[in-house]
Amino acid sequence: MPGTNLTREEAQQRARLLTVDAYEIELDLSGAQEGGTYRSVTTVRFDAAESGAESFIDLVAPTVHEVVLNGDALDPNEVFKDSRIALPGLLAGRNELRVVATCAYTNTGEGLHRFVDPVDQQAYLYTQFEVPDARRVFANFEQPDLKGTFQFTVTAPEGWTVISNSPTPEPKDNVWRFEPTPRISTYVTALIVGPYHSVHSSYEKDGRSVPLGIYCRPSLAEYLDSDAIFEVTRQGFAWFEEKFDYAYPFAKYDQLFVPEFNAGAMENAGAVTIRDQYVFRSKVTDAAYETRAETILHELAHMWFGDLVTMEWWNDLWLNESFATYTSIACQAHAPGSRWPHSWTTFANSMKTWAYRQDQLPSTHPIMAEINDLDDVLVNFDGITYAKGASVLKQLVAYVGMDEFFRGVQAYFKRHAYKNTRLSDLLGALEETSGRDLKTWSKQWLETAGINVLRPEIETDASGTVTSFAVRQEAPALPPGAKGAASDDAAPPRGTLRPHRIAIGLYDLNPTGKLVRSERVELDVDGELTEVPQLTGTKRSAVILLNDDDLTYAKVRLDPDSLAVVTEHLGDFEESLPRALSWASAWDMVRDGELATRDYLALVLSGIAKESDIGVVQSLHRQVKLALDLYAAPDWRETGLARWTEATLDHLRAAAPGSDHQLAWARAFTATARTDAQLDLVSGLLEGTETIEGLVIDTELRWALLERLAATGRADEAAIAAELERDKTSAGERHAATARAARPTPQAKAEAWASVVENDKLPNAVQEAVIGGFVQTDQRELLAPYAEKYFAVAKDIWNSRSHEMAQQIVVGLYPALQVSQETLDATDAWLASAEPTAALRRLVTESRAGIERALRAQAADAAAS
């Protein structure tokens, strides 16, 4: 929306002038069941540093009725423009502003989202304010360093519940008046309103009791495993309070599973919102429970890092998210009684591969990105901000020591509670506790972009004794235009050699055929070549694994002898983490064109049966399918897909009945079934005429089967409607939208395209479902005409839709399946002529890079034939 941007310079000027004291916000949501608009009244008290100065407050609203500044009524038609209310003639010292407006419910997951559950026809509301959407609900100074207290008063329909950051009061005449919050930022305030179902408990420690609540819609209540959620939450409370040496800083802790949520969860202070797909309606594997637990712990960690102590500006968003990511996974790995002590395996095989992918795009940037305005930050919730940053924090912990790291964090929290900070504040505290100078480390790791490659250089004599061992570090050139090069005038831009704390693991086959670590050496690697004298004179091991235990952030390559053993015995590593690191290295080689897709498929098929970690198995399923769809030589692709599909069916039939592996293989088979016989089996499983022992065809699996039948022309509208009749829920509606868009007919594609591109009425979750069905990897020819249509509408979509809705379309409908020079040329022509904003240019350029990478990988696969 034009006029909603805010530059860092404007934010700095406003922060120099203003100090916010308190907000009082009154919302009349009594008409929420019917929708439309609602009355919003904001009173805010703030101090100004200069008499007569002028500033502004933010508000996105259809209508502003009253603006009263220090008792003087201002004409809304004069002062309300471009989503800002001008504040002229401020007083030195205390000022008071009252704004009365009509605000609008949304269906985009931004601001105050309204959803009607088809099961009970009741409306359910929740807010989502990060980055700048509190201004869609009440007038405020929308930047993280202007903290204040917030007191909400909400009128709601009879029988509804209202939850906010402060403890829920008893309503009087359907009016809920909350106590003021501590000083927090606008983006972590929250309201969740509706006839929600709830379960309550508490966290008890040292005579202190923190109320805990879990909420969901009544239609999901039968699936809510609240005991398991409370168990993870309590583990997090205990571990974080010990490590942070700071008691939980808010009065209560509610977790609210809400519908149509764009992200995984949001760290609203004391009132965390979580996507309600985490209330599992059907059987899922343990990997899904692990992911949910990580999300729960991630948001809980934010209560300290982000909510108690908050970044001054969005360039430190990475630290907010990276800290929460690192500590959530560390909690899973180390908290007593954790179900997931191997959580770093999952991190290495999923989040870290996300970081590696992001860090090789033209949009790569330093971890501490330069955020010039809100448009910059809105597209910066990426693999660098989350996963690379967390990897670098893990490296920092290895560098300074875990005890020293957390002692520094403890000092940081005590020093800056309820305030705003910069990175230098944290690094200063860590320098004090560790005795290390972190300025050089920070410059090399946080202020430069790109990824390093570590390779072993090994020489042995005739007896197999190591005569020399060194680690070579490379800094590949950054993509053209990338920020954070080692030198601004480098062409192409150069990467940066960095200091790494790594472990080198030596693995040998034991008598049972398992690869077992026989020795581990931990050291600092710096510069182009680092000698490792500790290994000279030792007998060469079968596998030498750099970055064992995954301490640093770097791409790792195996020497030829180790690669040969790993190729034959990758599934034989006794521990899950070295397996995950080897799998990740192989996948990275496929993406870099160093390992052909057909060879990667052979590697996976040779080792996946021995892989016990279900999360790794499911990652391999996704990666193999992606490689076959995009990286395989086109004339071999169908051969590879046929081989993979046959293997998935074999593994499905061989898996232990009722096991996680059986379910994972069932989904992998369903996603790629292609022959008449295979599709007959899919149809038979759906209809109940075919069975596989132990495999329960529950609601979610039924939809997966039906969606594949729809995509292959074996299920029509009548079949989709009949399945929706069985599952008349919001999830069923989304699945039906996906199935309809997946049908392989020109009419179905045209209808799906029109519903997303030519209509702006779809809710966010349904729009996402339609896009997911529209893009089918075995419908390239059917989708080819939409490439030209995409470039005709992309800019208009970006300019006319909200950020979340526009990004879904711009990324989701880019012709990524049309892997050709023609697509590159069309993209380049559009980039040259359309004059897109920086954020839109970034998203399209990232998608273009996927085509370039696929072309290189396809060439490598063809050469391997």
Residues with catalytic function: 299
DSSP string, 37-66: EEEEEEEEEEEESSTT--EEEE---SEEEE
Q: Which residues of 336-356 are buried (b: 16+ CB within 10 A; e: fewer)?
A: eebbbebbbbbbbbbbbbebb
How many CB atoms lie under 10 A from the CB of residue 825? 10
Q: Which of 307, 352, 360 is nearest to 329 (CA)?
A: 352
Q: Establish how many alpha carbons lie within 13 A of residue 355's alpha carbon, considering only the half-sphere containing its beta carbon.
A: 29
Let me know: does 350 contact 390? Beta carbons within 8 Å: no
Rounded to an integer, what distance in angstroms lies between the CA atom of residue 316 and that of residue 421? 9
Which amino acid is it at 862? A
DSSP string, 703-751: HHHHHHHHHTTS--HHHHHHHHHH--SHHHHHHHHHHHHHSSSHHHHHH
> Alpha helix locations (H) across 338-379?
343-346, 352-358, 374-378
Rounded to an integer, what distance in angstroms lies between the CA atom of residue 660 and that of residue 865? 35
* Close Cβ partners of 626 (under 8 Å, ≥ 6 residues apart): none
Rounded to an integer, what distance in angstroms lies between the CA atom of residue 411 and that of residue 178? 32
Rounded to an integer, what distance in angstroms lies between the CA atom of residue 613 and that of residue 621? 13
Tell me the two tokens of residue 627: 């490689």
Angle at 76 between CA 73 and CA 79, to 5 degrees: 95
Rounded to an integer, what distance in angstroms lies between the CA atom of residue 418 and that of residue 602? 54
Q: Could you tell me if residue 93 is left (phi over 0), alpha (psi between -120 and 50 degrees) or otherwise beta?
A: left
Give the C-alpha distances (Å, rounded to integers) separating 543 from 497, 519, 556, 727, 781. Answer: 26, 11, 13, 51, 45
Give the C-alpha distances (Å, rounded to integers) separating 537 from 519, 543, 546, 560. Answer: 14, 17, 18, 20
Rounded to an integer, what distance in angstroms lies between the CA atom of residue 398 and that of residue 392? 10
Let me know: does 328 contact 294? Beta carbons within 8 Å: yes
Give the C-alpha distances (Å, rounded to integers) separating 179 from 167, 170, 175. Answer: 8, 11, 13
Dmax over Cα atoms in the chain, in whole Å?
92
